[in-house]
Structure 1
Amino acid sequence: MNNTSPLSFEAQLKSIQQLIQTAKFNDAIKQSKQLLEQTSNQEEQAELWYLLAVAQRYSKDYSNALISITELLKCNNTHSRAHQEQGYNQLALNHSEQAKNSFEKAVELNPSLVASWQELIEIYRDINQPQNIQKAANHLAKLKSLPPALLAVTEFMHEGKLLKAEQVCRHFLQNNKHHVDGMCMLAEIGIELKIYDDAEFLLASAIELAPTHINARSQYLNLLIRLGKYKLAEQQANTLLAEQPDNLSYNIAKASVLTGLGEIEEAIALFEKIINKDDKIAGLHLQLGHALKAKGDIKKAVQSYQKAYQINPDYGDAYWSLANTKTYRFSDEEIAKMQAKREDESLAIIDKVQLHFATAKAFEDKKEFPQAFQAYLQGNQLQRANNGFDINKIEQQVDEQIKYCTAELFEKYAHIGFEAPDPIFIVGLPRAGSTLLEQILASHSQVDGTMELHNILGLASRLRGRVQIKDNQESPYPKNLHEINTDYFKRFGQQFIDETRVYRDNAPFFIDKMPNNFLHLGLIKLILPNAKIIDARRSPMACCFSGFKQLFAEGQDFSYSLEDIGRYYQAYLKLMAHWKQVLPNFILTINHEDVVEDLDKEVHRMLDFCGLAFEQSCIDFHKTKRAIKTPSSEQVRQPIYKSATEQWRYFEEYLTPLKKVLNV
């Protein structure tokens, strides 16, 4: 069946809505059924089943309305209003227990459904559940206290309509500039859309306007943790704990902050103190495991991860965290559990993805490569289906960098940036060996290891602006590097040094190992002309397949398709060749295979490039004690080994799409 065109579908949808509003229910039912026969688009079908169910309920045809809702939930089982409709019909048929479950599911999916909360209060009253009455009444009062526009924003957010939510929220704030709840909502939307600098500014402004607004400060704290701004996060956590010292979430946040600051022993002690009060929270054991892993205590980390899945058998992150130690071996019983769980249709998508990746690692360790690849493929496909990544946009960014970041630009603006020599940027693709290079350099007495810092990406995002870039339309950045006031370059460089100081100890140099910074080396050269760039490179097949096998905590959305990751690698090579041409002597390429083959030689090359005297500790990098929070943490605590360089060959027969893109 052919899909209806978007315009005709929207018009017909509005027509059905108008029929319902004017009580022409039979006409609405007839039109809905006709349109359902004309479309095979699942989203369109869901909209039509919903309107059909509403019209059937209004015409008191409750049984058929429930059949329509069942069909709707087959299209989209997270449709909150479908569960609400189901509740209405079950109530009409006097199935109050089923109705209660439906309304509870509706508000679980969308806590802003006022009507569902109202119905739940009545149901709880009938079955004499005073605690639930109070909880529902409190939530309802909170919703009713919101201005209508912000209530609409919360509904759009819970329905996943983020751009519509942003539009309504911004319009509201234009007329209510200092409305703190509105600012918090817009920040939440920004976080969902990964516009972190906007969200950070909004929340910082909100707590300045309303220092006692607990929700704003709590939101700000969580964002700072997400961005790795642990010093600032510590201040917010301490402020919140001064007000509510026994608050569980603030104590957990404080422990996470301590982990981020590298104060691992204190973090572990705080996690254990919290767990002693309540040891039935799976997420707490998971976070304790992360802290223990960062410390290097893998045995105890494993015990914490196992405890997490024992408490919550659906907890995909616990299984994936075990796999992500890279050294854990799953038992046959654990593998059977994971296989059964990942087929559970009611399981959240993120848990399914994590279970697929964990199962894949388990099969790979057992050398059962066909089953391993199938699980990796399923996990990647599921993750890719939900991230909206478009490789064409990356390739367009690369072309624009090459077009506008010319040799003439760098000659014209040479040495106008901030002259500090402090930063050493390690760039490349994830899984190319950057953690190993960081560990080698951070073992030097003059160099601080930090983490993957978001500052350069944030600056590029600000220069790009908030315009929606249509297909084939150029972004304002990097073209605007030719146009902005040149005083800004020095200011941006100074800002980078100032903002990153919180991640450093006292060494004169520090490392930023955000791999994606390779896209912005021209910007880095303009704002920090004396920075050092190390290009961590690994053979194409090994690098790309290693990325395909890794489930990243955030970002790296290109890695969930063999074709995408191959095209990304090719775009990276193309841009790095350009940077080397227009920025001679600015970049040192270090091949992972060369480090494995001759560590001493490559360590001397890196230290010479960075202007650092040789120190034996760089050769003995695996003895260096520091918190490491990347997937390679256990590998860099061991001497160099060669076994990983050819692991992709076990899967070679499945990697034709990747080989084709890479031309190997």
Structure 2
Amino acid sequence: MSQGNDPAGLDRLRRRAHALLQEQRLPEAQAVLEEVLRHAPNDLATSIDLADTRFRRGQLQASTLPLLQAMRQLPRDVPLLISLVQHLIARGEVLAARSCLDLLALAPAPPPELWVAQASLRFALGEIPEAKALMDKAVAAGANSPGDLHLRAMLLQFSGDIDGACAVLETCLQRWPHFGDAAMVLVNLRKQTPHANRLDSLREQLRKLPEEAATPDQAFVRAEFEYALFKTLDDLGRHEEAWDALARCNALMSRLNPYDATAEEEVANALVDMPHVPVDARGRPEGPTPIFIVGMPRSGTTLLDRILSSHSQVTSAGEIIDFWRQLHWVADVVPARSQGLRRVIARSAGIDYQALGARYLRQTQWRARGRAYYIDKLPANIQMVAFIRRALPHAPILHMVRDPMDTCFSNFKAMFGNVSSYSYELGALAHYYGQYARLASHWHASLPSAMLDVPYAELVRAPETTVERVLAHCGLELEDACLAPERNAAPVATPSSAQVRESIHTRGVGQWRHYARQLAPLQEALDALQPAAALAAV
């Protein structure tokens, strides 16, 4: 009997593969794992190990194959299935991931942690109602950790149940007063008033936290409480004190997440210098049509999403990164932040854009849920405009444009966590905005009809005229519901989900002026970006 057909021999091969992986001998490990699967094709653990090994070797497409082959006969091993779903999502295989989740949903009397795991994965896919229902079951079954309750509060918030979210977060802070995540989200859910605020408790927690954090986790928690203090003081109109708290918060976050200006500029340079590929004037694909909303973060993209998804023929898919994932897959480039994108750009002339468009549509059209259009709202897709135009020439791209100071200040005061490193320091913020503005100007010059600018100020001051123009660009007629987005009951997964359930208003215009003195360096830096910044703000 050969080693491959002998159970004991297979175990020896698996141990050999793991030893090789520990020694970083990836090609040899890959060969052994492939040998195991030739004799045990239903070994899901080995399929996942092989996928990881190929991924680490830069073989993105090849890393997907053992995962999809494993779908033919899935085991009833819940932890392995959870791992499989995570791996499938990371490779853009959303349909297969949802199929696994449907199987997991059949598990009889699962423990609370299984409900939580499923809820987290449904949330990662943007399925808010499904994730909320799963978290409700998890809590009923005994899920009770800070992370569990925080996830439940977010899902309540995104579903529009602000009172329910507040109640959960208040419970969290009663039990865990040092829980910065809960404090930060809670103050964002409602405007703080002189008669209803947590100012004293926030200051008390800050007094208990070490001023010089010994670990990154301690620094992060302190930054969260400083942010909550800023938001409260800002709501109360105590702007001098508020700025001091925000400055302390962002100084901590900037140290934790230094901005890489060189990497950002290299990506913009590569996109601007990308060779021209003609847009294929092929026929319109069957099925629902995506509408892309791009721009700077905090430029009003969520408001535009809520307005358009109030239309009877449009739904929102939320902030999904599906196009970015499918682009990397078709280019066969392992995602690796800016380095990965630069490799994709280097291969751009050889990409099969028809295949890219077809793959994106296949993995996302379910999100339309029976409607003719679905919105892919991801501000960072401003980097993807040329790729989208080539892969999906029928898909409208809407570019949200807001006053540079309003946009940048809104980013500076947002507290994105350990992402968006540009947002925590004024010089970095101006530099990042400059790269965005330069890129937007380049798309307008090189692809004149690729995207429609939607000025935020016009949207909030003359909504009917602006919305009608935007809908016409998408091939739709104006409906009254689009002018009352506050009635849109659909979930919305964004930190500003409470604010976007309000009616259209102009309060977001000129908010930075409360801090004009402190923001003078930012204004000077933005002024120095002209004419690029001016072109992006038309």
Shorter-chain TM-score above 0.5: yes
2:266 alignment counterpart? 396
Q: CA deviation at 1:635?
A: 1.8
Does 1:459 pair with 2:326?
yes
Pairs within 5 Å for 1:292-331: 292-325=156-189, 327=191, 330-331=197-198
What SS does the corresponding residue of 2:400 show, helix, strand or coil? strand
Cα offsets for 1:193-228 (capped at 9, x unmatched): 999989876655566687345433212335667899
1:358 alignment counterpart? 228
Pairs within 5 Å for 1:595-610: 595-610=459-474
What TM-score results when the alignment is normalised by the length of structure 1? Answer: 0.66
Cα offsets for 1:264-315 (capped at 9, x unmatched): 6665555344324436422222222112212212111111111122232332
What SS does the corresponding residue of 2:375 show, helix, strand or coil? strand
Q: CA deviation at 1:381?
A: 3.6
1:172 alignment counterpart? 29
1:438 alignment counterpart? 305
What SS does the corresponding residue of 1:477 show, helix, strand or coil? helix
Q: CA deviation at 1:595?
A: 1.2
Pairs within 5 Å for 1:486-505: 488-505=352-369
CA distance in 1, matches of 2:409, 2:62: 35
Does 1:415 pair with 2:285?
no
CA distance in 1, matches of 2:448, 2:229: 45
What SS does the corresponding residue of 1:535 show, helix, strand or coil? strand
One-letter amino acid matched to 2:139:
I
Q: CA deviation at 1:153?
A: 6.6
One-letter amino acid matched to 2:449:
N
Cα offsets for 1:474-505 (capped at 9, x unmatched): 93432433234xxx221111111111023221
Larger Rg over CA atoms: 1
CA distance in 2, matches of 1:525, 1:239: 36
One-letter amino acid matched to 1:594:
E
User: Cα 1:306–1:193, aligned 2, differ >3 Å: closer, same or farther?
Assistant: farther
Does 1:424 pair with 2:291?
yes
8 A contact 1:450–1:503 mirrored in 2: yes
2:4 alignment counterpart? none
8 A contact 1:169–1:185 mirrored in 2: no
What SS does the corresponding residue of 2:509 show, helix, strand or coil? helix
Pairs within 5 Å for 1:502-581: 502-552=366-416, 555-581=419-445
What TM-score results when the alignment is normalised by the length of structure 2? Answer: 0.80
8 A contact 1:418–1:489 mirrored in 2: no
**Unmatched tracts of structure 2, length 5 or more:** 1-12, 38-42, 529-538
Aligned length: 502
One-letter amino acid matched to 1:321:
V
Question: In percent, how many aligned pairs have the same letter?
Answer: 26
Q: CA deviation at 1:188?
A: 7.6
CA distance in 2, matches of 1:193, 1:635: 44
1:379 alignment counterpart? 249
Does 1:274 pair with 2:135?
no
1:475 alignment counterpart? 342
**Unmatched tracts of structure 1, length 5 or more:** 1-144, 155-164
Query: Which is further off, 569-578 or 436-445?
Result: 569-578
What SS does the corresponding residue of 1:426 show, helix, strand or coil? strand
8 A contact 2:203–2:229 mirrored in 1: no
Cα offsets for 1:2-45 (capped at 9, x unmatched): xxxxxxxxxxxxxxxxxxxxxxxxxxxxxxxxxxxxxxxxxxxx
User: Cα 1:469–1:590, aligned 2, differ >3 Å: closer, same or farther?
Assistant: closer
**Match among 287, 301, 317 for residue 450 of structure 1:** 317
One-letter amino acid matched to 2:402:
R
User: Cα 1:405–1:652, aligned 2, differ >3 Å: closer, same or farther?
Assistant: farther
What SS does the corresponding residue of 2:221 show, helix, strand or coil? helix
Pairs within 5 Å for 1:108-119: none
More helix by share: 1
CA distance in 2, matches of 1:193, 1:589: 41
CA distance in 2, matches of 1:196, 1:649: 48
**Match among 497, 502, 514 for residue 638 of structure 1:** 502
Query: Which structure carries more relative contact order (alpha carbon 8 Å, separation 6+)?
Result: 2
Cα offsets for 1:150-176 (capped at 9, x unmatched): 47978xxxxxxxxxx9x5556533443
